[in-house]
Amino acid sequence: MTLFDTHAHYTDEQFDEDRDAVLAALPAADVARVVVPGVNIASSRRGAALAEAYPYVWAAAGVHPHDAAEAPPDMEAALAELAGRRKVAAIGEIGLDYHYDFSPRDVQRAVFRRQMEVARALSLPVIIHDREAHADVLEIVRAFPDVRGVFHCYSGSLESAKVLTSLGWHLSFTGVVTYKNARRLLEVAAWLPGDRLLIETDAPYLTPEPHRGRRNDSRHIRLVAEALSRARGASPEEIAALTWENGHRLFSKIC
Ligand SMILES: [Zn+2]
């Protein structure tokens, strides 16, 4: 089994003590591709450097909605420079977060739109963060019909999933699918067309059961694949192969 973790924050300070040890241990756990998303320009640069250092690590460059208020005026130029590098495969993570509201909502929307424009101009896929902001996220992604990507850590309804897949989007599932209250989410995962399915850890967050409460890393992606295999009536190996293929198709710079 060869696994593709499409979203893991190895630039997070929770990995400051042992980042290289964790990354070096991934191939032995059958994790052969990882995408490290950026949350601001500085972390995007650190993620790109990690991608340069590890052949199986790739980066995305972006400004998270939490950090939107600090987006620099020259954000577009900084993202374009990063996106020109061989190991930067996407724009992300970008979107809206109305749960924490760390940046004002109008600023979040403006920064999200500006980054969708960068993705369109550079023909790159995007990684979307949508928390309690679905109507506004949908309105913005609809305004960019030629931009494709993934709704990371999908947590929405089956109805929303049907709309998003009809618009060409992928949905990605985390360790949340292993939690007790995941029944509705597993219904979405069971319904989802096979070619739109992706998996991720969102490390260091959202640690799957039975490790919940501890720091997450990509070695736990197997538990996400196993939970989805039960929901979809497929083997874990089939889920791994499907999400491997889908990840490479969506993030087409990754080889
Ligand atoms: Zn994330």
Query: What pLDDT was estimated at residue 192?
Result: 98
Residue 9 domain flag? yes
Mean pLDDT of 99-106: 95
Whole-number pLDDT of residue 40: 98
Q: Is residue 170 part of a domain?
A: yes
In a domain, 190, yes or no: yes
Q: Taking each helix axis from N to C terminus, what angle separates 158-166 and 183-191, rounded to the nearest 10 degrees?
A: 30
C-alpha of residue 235 to centroid of ligand 1, in Å: 27
pLDDT reported for residue 164: 97
pLDDT band for position 211 (cuts 50, 70, 90) = very high
What percent of the chain is predicted at pLDDT more than 70? 100
165 and 194 in contact (C-beta within 8 Å)?
no
Question: How close is the Cα of 31 to the center of ligand 1, in Å?
Answer: 18
Determine how many CB atoms are found less than 10 A away from the CB of residue 77: 11
Determine the structural domain holding residue 127 and report its residue range.
3-250
Structure confidence at residue 184 (pLDDT): 95
Q: Has residue 255 been placed in a domain?
A: no
pLDDT on residue 251: 98
31-36 and 57-61 as β-strands: parallel, antiparallel, unpaired? parallel
Q: 59 in a domain, yes or no? A: yes
Taking the C-alpha atoms of residue 224 and residue 239, their distance in angstroms, rounded to an integer, is 10
Residue owning tokens 């501890």: 214
How large is the average pLDDT for residues 220-242? 98
Ligand 1 centroid to residue 8 C-alpha, Å: 7
pLDDT (tens digit, 9 = 90+) per residue, 21-53? 999 999 999 999 999 999 999 999 999 999 999
CATH number at 31 reads 3.20.20.140
Q: What pLDDT score was predicted for residue 231? A: 97
The residue type at 186:
L
Environment of ion ligand 1 (residues, CB < 5 A) = 93
Give the confidence band of 163 by pLDDT, cuts at 50, 70, 90.
very high
pTM reported for the whole predicted model: 0.97
Q: For the chain, where are the alpha helices, taking DSSP H only?
A: 19-25, 41-53, 75-83, 105-122, 134-142, 158-166, 183-191, 221-232, 236-250
The SS3 of residue 91 is strand
> What's the gap in Å between 7 CA and the centre of ligand 1?
6
For 48, 96, 151, the CA distances from 45, given in Å and listed in that order, are 5, 22, 22
pLDDT of residue 243: 98
Domains held by the chain: number: 1
pLDDT on residue 228 = 98
**Residue 108, pLDDT score:** 97
Q: How many Å lie between the centroid of ligand 1 and the Cα of residue 9?
A: 6
Q: Cα–Cα distances in Å, from 126 out to 88, 115, 153?
A: 12, 9, 14
Q: How far is the C-alpha of 208 from the C-alpha of 215, rounded, in Å?
A: 10
64 C-alpha to center of ligand 1: Å? Answer: 8
Mean pLDDT of 221-246: 98
